[in-house]
Homo-oligomer: A and B are copies of this chain.
């Protein structure tokens, strides 16, 4: 069994904790949490510590804290030459302290507190300073997920930026769609099958092949009618910019 210690008690830390508790290849030896109660519903109380000096020995220490806190937390660890990894999509591996061997263990998913996820389908992107450590991280990742990828810091940054487009920005477009429906007493749920199919479609077609709509067909009458229909200036601006972007993309091909 590979001994893992988890540092952090937030959303991602709790989801990782649950996944490791089910893994047969990993022994979760300890969780560091400033507030012990925040994870005590998930793991026996004697496995939780709020003191860095009480950290038990492990094969890998996984820091699952906010990006801003990674450097500081890694500096506070009271040991040297151990394998210490962070779980961030945007922080570089180098942001970890030089006191220990560095690595990254980045599960690429949006986690909702209280909503269980099936870790088997969550891609885990791993990276390490040393080859032996990579093999260990791969075993840990394989034990909870079927989708493990070797991704360096530069590639990980590109994934993180892409994720902002396909998750944060996409969700904001859902918000705008929902606002437009609300403004006309139309239940937003009518759009949910379309939203789901839009996401499913690109499993078999590339997003480029899947593109449809007035911008793609250059249907000026419909585009004009939509712009007249929209009363919110911000919605109009987003409509114009994305329509233009779809059309320019068509020209490039």
Contact = CB atoms under 8 A, between A and B. Distances in A.
A194 interface: yes
A76 B180 CA distance: 36
A36 B123 CA distance: 48
B172 A158 contact: no
Contact of A172 (B110, B159, B178, B242): B242
B175 A208 contact: yes
Given A123-B193, A169-B173, A184-B155, A164 B239 contact: yes
B180 A161 contact: yes
B241 A241 contact: yes
A177 B162 contact: yes
Q: How many copies does the complex hold?
A: 2
A181 B164 contact: no
Contacts of A203: 192
Interface stretch (A15-23, A38-46, A54-62, A245-253): A245-253
Contacts of A237: 241
B162 A191 contact: yes
A168 B211 contact: yes
Interface string A151-186: 100110111111111111111111111101101111
Interface string A216-239: 100101100110011000100111
4 tightest CB-CB pairs across the interface, nearest first?
A168-B213, A158-B184, A199-B199, A162-B177
